[in-house]
């Protein structure tokens, strides 16, 4: 399907909702909720920095997340005064092991920020030019590549169809879950479809963009993406529990949060453990990072403080294009980074969804406050139903918004709380 509009399209699988989920903490801006619409019936904190009310609210949030399907939920919130951590539920439904905030999880499209960092490092090294055509770096690979720049890949203005938007892609994955896709296979899926729009004439989130960036990085450096992440990001930052799945997560024992694809159509949630599926074999440069809440928090703090590249590249990363009219949040997208104008203030970050996880990372512009969350379940159905709607209302329009408000030290808008508390649990989903 070809479109020349800025209106985002959404494929039939929940992982395809990346752009909607990524900045979920601010999703209520679409309803006109503002920070001024804060609830007035909460007790006041007892003193400067007193955490009691917010801690109690976050515990309620964790409980309500579990009630709508995910087996586990973790959060790490640095509000500039102290770090709050929350963990509820199980990391492994088979063994019943309790989840902890130290568990590793699939970070999904948070990976895009890692890939963007690697690309901007290449710009600093004068190996890559943001406004050079993709054709220069991958000759003959991308249709119309002479009119698509590297910057367009990074900020999702290329118009290239996202391979995860193909209606048969996830059907094929479920039929053969251990298949490891090559970059060429993923591009073949994407290029069977017409572009969303002409290069530079719209905005549409597309995993294909980051597959191509990964190919450029590997071709230029002669190194694999796992090696590049280790040598240029996790090593320098001391992120000991973060790596690029190649193609699978390598630590799936104690300390690893299993992810679950959830089907709600029968009424009672049905779970499939997808933690042994090859994340790197389909998400790649667009979504294959495995990490922890602490490591991901340190990463986004370092990014926003310009510790991994020059200040000029930080400026480029934070130069955003507006999200389309009708998009459920307000803000913009830079180079692998969302700017979200949330009900409680502007934040920067990303987020991601895999077959079994929904995670978010939000930070203040100076990187001094960061909030990271992960829910260990993701709807896996081609059609909407009450269970799917309940899941997204609770997590996107409730839990994620509360988390950002707590990080910023702002009262949670009453509309967010009303939405969160008005959702009934899924049958037999509570843990």
Q: Quick check: bond before 247 cis, omega within 30?
A: yes
Contact 298, 292 (CB under 8 A): no
- Whole-number Å distance between alpha carbons of 252 and 271: 18
Rounded-to-integer distance, Cα 53 and Cα 400, Å: 17
Residue 301 known to be catalytic: no
Q: What is the 3-state secondary structure (H, E, C) of the chain?
A: CCCCCCCCCCCCCHHHHHHHHHCHHHHHHHHCCCHHHECCCCCCCCCCCCCHHHHHHHHHHHHHHHHCCCCEEEEEEECCCCEEEEEEEEEECCCCEECCCCCEEECHHHHHHHHHHHHHHHHHCCCCCCCCEHHHHCCCCCCCHHHCEHHHHHCCCCCCCCHHHCCCHHHHHHHCCCCCCCHHHHHHHHHCCCCCCCCCCCCCCCHHHHHHHHHHHHHHHCCCHHHHHHHHHHHHHCCCCCEECCCCCCCCCCCECCCEEEECCCCCCEEEECCCCCHHHCCHHHHCEEECHHHHHHHHHHHHCCCCCCHHHHHHHCCCEECCCCCCCCEEECCCCEEEEECCEEEEEEEEECCCCEEEEEECCCCCCEEEEEECEEECCCCCCHHHHHHHHHHHHHHHHHHHHHHHCCCCEHHHHHHHHCCCCCCCCCC
Per annotation, catalytic residue among 12, 34, 109, 276: 109
Catalytic residues: 109
């Amino acid at each position: 399907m070809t479109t020349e509009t800025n209106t985002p399209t959404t494929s039939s699988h929940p992982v395809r909702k990346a752009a909607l989920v990524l900045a979920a903490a601010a999703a209520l801006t679409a309803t006109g909720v503002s920070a001024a619409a804060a609830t007035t019936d909460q007790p006041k904190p007892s003193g400067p920095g007193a955490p009691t009310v917010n801690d109690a609210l976050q515990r309620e949030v964790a409980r309500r997340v579990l009630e709508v399907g995910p087996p586990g939920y973790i959060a790490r919130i640095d509000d500039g005064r102290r770090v709050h951590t929350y963990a509820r539920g199980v990391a492994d439904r088979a063994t019943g092991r309790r989840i902890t905030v130290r568990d590793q999880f699939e970070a999904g499209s948070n990976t895009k920020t890692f890939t963007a960092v690697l690309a901007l490092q290449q710009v600093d090294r004068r190996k890559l030019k943001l406004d050079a055509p993709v054709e220069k770096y991958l000759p003959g690979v991308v249709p119309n590549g002479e009119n698509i720049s590297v910057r367009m890949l990074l900020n999702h203005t290329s118009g290239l169809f996202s391979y995860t938007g193909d209606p048969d892609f996830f059907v094929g994955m479920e039929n053969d879950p251990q298949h490891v896709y090559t970059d060429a296979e993923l591009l073949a899926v994407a290029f069977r479809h017409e572009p969303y729009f002409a290069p530079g004439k719209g905005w549409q989130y597309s995993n294909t963009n980051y597959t191509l960036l990964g190919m450029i990085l590997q071709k230029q450096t002669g190194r694999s993406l796992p090696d590049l992440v280790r040598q240029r990001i996790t090593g320098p930052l001391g992120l000991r529990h973060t790596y690029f799945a190649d193609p699978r997560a390598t630590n799936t024992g104690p300390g690893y949060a299993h992810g679950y694809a959830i089907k709600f159509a029968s009424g009672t949630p049905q779970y499939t453990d997808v933690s042994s599926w090859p994340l790197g074999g389909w998400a790649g440069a667009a979504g294959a990072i495995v990490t922890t809440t602490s490591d991901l928090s340190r990463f986004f703090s370092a990014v926003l403080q310009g510790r991994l590249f020059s200040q000029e590249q930080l400026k480029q990363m934070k130069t955003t294009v507006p999200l389309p009219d009708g998009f459920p949040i307000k803000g913009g997208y830079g180079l692998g980074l969302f700017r979200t104008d949330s009900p409680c203030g502007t934040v920067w970050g990303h987020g991601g969804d895999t077959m079994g996880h929904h995670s978010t990372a939000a930070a203040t512009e100076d990187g001094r406050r960061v909030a990271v969350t992960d829910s260990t379940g993701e709807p896996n159905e081609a059609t909407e139903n009450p269970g799917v709607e309940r899941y997204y209302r609770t997590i996107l329009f409730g839990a994620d918004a509360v988390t950002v408000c707590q990080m910023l030290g702002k009262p949670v808008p009453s509309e967010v709380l009303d939405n969160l508390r008005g959702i009934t649990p899924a049958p037999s989903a509570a843990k």
